[in-house]
Structure 1
Amino acid sequence: MASQQGTVDFLLDQMAGAGSVSAKKMFGEYGLYCDGKMFAIVADDQLFIKPTDAGRAWISMQGTPQEAPPYPQAKPYFLIDGGLWDERDWLSQLARRTADALPLPKPKPPPKPKKAASAG
């Protein structure tokens, strides 16, 4: 089941305090980005945060982090209970701490020049 745009819009609004947050649609689901780093996935209208030590420490202040894969064959992510989605400051801090702990994305290589068509 694909995630609803309304769910993604709500989460982005809740995490606005983390920095520049955005979403990109991916195969009916969404990748969430903070300052250019993908830090979460919204799948089946559930929020999955990439696991980091900083994120685990922050989540542990609310209880034991729950882990689950966002899709089959994926590595486990932190599954954030919907009851915490209304905690704007907490959610923004989780997004910020997670993004800060992740490396910058690797730059894409420049496109290869096209070969000229041969005459003849």
Structure 2
Amino acid sequence: MASDQTFVDFVVDQIQNAGVIHARKMFGEYGIYSDGKIFGLICDNKLFIKPTQAGREYIGTPVEAPPYSGAKNSFLIEEQLEDAEWLSELVRVSVKELPEPKPKKKKKS
């Protein structure tokens, strides 16, 4: 089941204080970015955050699950979706640990 735009807009709105946030449609679901770094996915109207040590410490005991079949586990965020301040801080501490995006290769003409 694909995620609906209403849920994606809600999540993006909740984390507006965590940098320049945008969602990008990917294979019927959405990648979520902060300042150009992908930090999570929205799949089946559920938010998944890439696991980092800082994120694990911030959450305490995270619920981990794969966002889709065959994927590695991510932090599944459910109960805290309504808490914009908590969610924004989770995104901020997680993004700090994630690597910078690789520069895109220029296409040959």
**Deviations, residues 50-96 of structure 1 (Å, cap 9, x unaligned):** 00001101111xxx101000001100000011x21111100000111
Runs of 4 or more off by more than 6 Å in structure 1? none
How many angstroms apart in 1 are the aligned matches of 2:107 and 2:3? Answer: 33
For normalisation by structure 2, the TM-score amounts to 0.97
**Which residue number corresponds to residue 37 of structure 1?**
37
**Which residue number corresponds to residue 117 of structure 1?**
none
**Which residue number corresponds to residue 92 of structure 1?**
88
Report the CA distance between 1:27 and its aligned residue.
Answer: 1.1
**Which residue number corresponds to residue 25 of structure 1?**
25
Q: In percent, how many aligned pairs have the same letter?
A: 54
> Which consecutive residues of structure 2, in runs of 5 or more, have no partner in the other structure?
none
How many angstroms apart in 2 are the aligned matches of 1:4 and 1:94? Answer: 23
> Which consecutive residues of structure 1, in runs of 5 or more, have no partner in the other structure?
114-120
Report the CA distance between 1:110 and its aligned residue.
Answer: 1.5
Say what the alpha-carbon RMSD is for the aligned residues: 0.7
How many angstroms apart in 2 are the aligned matches of 1:50 and 1:91? Answer: 13
**Which residue number corresponds to residue 53 of structure 2?**
53
**3-state SS of 1:47 partner:** strand
* Amino acid in structure 2 at the alignment position of 1:99: V
**3-state SS of 2:76 partner:** strand
Shifted more, 104-113 versus 26-35: the winner is 104-113
**Deviations, residues 17-48 of structure 1 (Å, cap 9, x unaligned):** 10100000011100000000000000000000
For normalisation by structure 1, the TM-score amounts to 0.88
